Amino acid sequence: MDGNPNSRMAAKNGTYTVNDTSAVTGKEFSSFYVSSDAVIADLEANGAAADVRATYISTAGGTVSAGTVITASGDNYFSGITLTSGEVTLILR
């Protein structure tokens, strides 16, 4: 991915919207935008199956409000997400 943060926020590499409860894997995304209030059941990073919700959300099983942007830190990236409810837009890297 381009190291320019403006490229990331402009979604230079596209987006992918998740609006169901099926696990999304096989996509690399640097951040995601919460389009409607969402409960995230699982969040994976760097291709590993370990759940990293607690690293990015203070109450891992709680509702994340619409309008929130969650960005992977440093050179990390997200590699999977599963929702319990709501909708998010992945910003692909």
pLDDT range class, residue 87, cuts 50, 70, 90: very high
Alpha-carbon distance of 61 to 59, in angstroms, equals 6
Sketch the domain layout of the chain as residue ranges: 5-92
**What are the pLDDT digits (tens) for 16-49?**
999 999 999 999 999 999 999 999 999 999 999 9
**pLDDT score, position 26:** 93
pTM for the structure as a whole:
0.88
Count CB neighbours of 69 within 10 A: 11
Cβ proximity of 24 and 81 under 8 Å: yes
* CA-closest candidate to residue 75, choices 43, 33, 46: 46
Beta strand spans in 1-93 (E): 15-18, 24-45, 63-64, 69-71, 78-92
